[in-house]
């Protein structure tokens, strides 16, 4: 991934109030532990090389109780969009969708090679997903509403979103 795309991604995240922590695979577990607030629930990082939640404070598999009580939900991210700081969350049987949605903080683990420049460049990924009945969500920043007369963050979805960027993947 070109540095300019990553830079764009980082500045877009900053614009929408999402913090970013860079790490290499080797330091992943300790980095993640420093980012999450416990209790934390997570979805296994399927297909990520050499990193796993098993040596972190994050509990798996997700249960309904954890969805309700966890302070943090940790999920993989299939793609990210540099232009808007968007995370592409693929729905899966392991529960990426509810785990990214229920706890007040969502920590998204992004591989740098998955950062794409813009919305249009995600079309191929989405087409592949939808063709086999898959679902995906573009999530950009924290949930918000203006319906109570002023902008409030953290409505039905998370109040905080943090990205952990794996710079060597």
Partner 1 sequence: MSAQVDRRRKAERIRTLLETEGETVQENVAHLNQGRYDAMERFDDFEALRTAAREIKAEAIENLPTLIETLRESVESNGGTLYLADDAADANRYISEVAASKNAETLVKSKSMTTEEIEVNAALADVGVEVWETDLGEFVLQVADESPSHLIGPSLHKSREDVAELFNQVFDPEEPFETAEELTTFARDYLGERIREADIGMTGANFVLADSGTITLVTNEGNARKSAVTPDTHIAVTGVEKIVPGVEELHPFVELISKSATGQDISQYVTMLTPPVDSPTIDFERPDEPLGSGDGEREFHLVLIDNGRMAMRDDEQLRETLYCIRCGACANSCGNFQHVGGHAFGGETYTGGIATGWETGIEGPDAASEFNDLCTGCSRCVNACPVKIDIPWINTVVRDRLNRETAPSELSFLVEGLTPDAEGSLSAPKRFFGNFETLAKLGSATAPVSNWLVDLAPVRTLMDRYLGVAPQRELPTFQRDTLTDWFESRRPRLPNADADRTVVLYPDTYTNYVHTERGKAAVRTLEALGAHVELATPIESGRAPLSQGMIATATAQADAVATDLDPYLAAEFDLVVIEPSDLAMFRREYRKLLDEDDYERISEHSYDVMEYVYGLLSNGASTEPLASPDAPVAYHSHCQQRTLGVDSYTEAVLDELGFDVVTSDVECCGMAGSFGYKSEYYELSMDVGEALHDQFTDAGDRTLVASGTSCTEQLTELFARDATHPVELVAPDGRT
Binding site for partner 1 (CB under 8 A): 61-65, 67-68, 83-84, 86, 91-98, 101-102, 119-120, 123, 126-127, 129-131, 133-152, 154-158
DSSP state of 59: B
Output the smallest distance, CB 46 to partner 1, in A.
Answer: 13
Task: Return d(Cα 140, Cα 18) in angstroms, integer.
Answer: 9
Report the run of H or E that residue 8 belongs to, with start and end: helix 3-15
Output the smallest distance, CB 59 to partner 1, in A.
Answer: 11
Q: How many residues does the chain have?
A: 169
Is 30 or 155 the residue whose CB approaches partner 1 more closely? Answer: 155
Output the smallest distance, CB 73 to partner 1, in A.
Answer: 12
Task: Return d(Cα 9, Cα 14) in angstroms, integer.
Answer: 9
Task: Return d(Cα 87, Cα 165) in angstroms, integer.
Answer: 12
Is 47 or 133 the residue whose CB approaches partner 1 more closely? Answer: 133
Output the smallest distance, CB 54 to partner 1, in A.
Answer: 16
Q: Are 111 and 169 in contact (CB under 8 A)?
A: yes
Is 46 buried (19+), middle (13-18) or exposed (0-12) by CB count in 10 A? exposed
Is 3 or 148 the residue whose CB approaches partner 1 more closely? Answer: 148
């Amino acid at each position: 991934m070109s540095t300019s795309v990553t830079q764009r991604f980082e500045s877009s995240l900053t614009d929408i109030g999402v913090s970013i922590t860079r790490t290499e695979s080797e330091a992943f577990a300790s980095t993640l532990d420093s980012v999450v607030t416990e209790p934390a629930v997570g979805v296994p990082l399927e297909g990520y090389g050499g990193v796993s939640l098993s040596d972190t404070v994050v509990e798996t598999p997700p249960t309904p109780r954890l969805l309700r009580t966890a302070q943090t939900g940790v999920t993989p991210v299939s793609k990210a969009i540099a232009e808007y700081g968007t995370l592409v969350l693929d729905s899966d049987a392991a529960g990426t969708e509810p785990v990214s949605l229920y706890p007040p903080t969502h920590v998204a683990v992004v591989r740098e090679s998955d950062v794409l420049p813009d919305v249009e460049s995600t079309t191929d990924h989405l087409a592949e997903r939808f063709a086999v009945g898959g679902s995906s969500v573009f999530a950009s920043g924290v949930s918000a509403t203006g319906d109570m007369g002023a902008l409030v963050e953290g409505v039905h979805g998370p109040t905080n979103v943090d990205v952990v960027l794996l710079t060597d993947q």
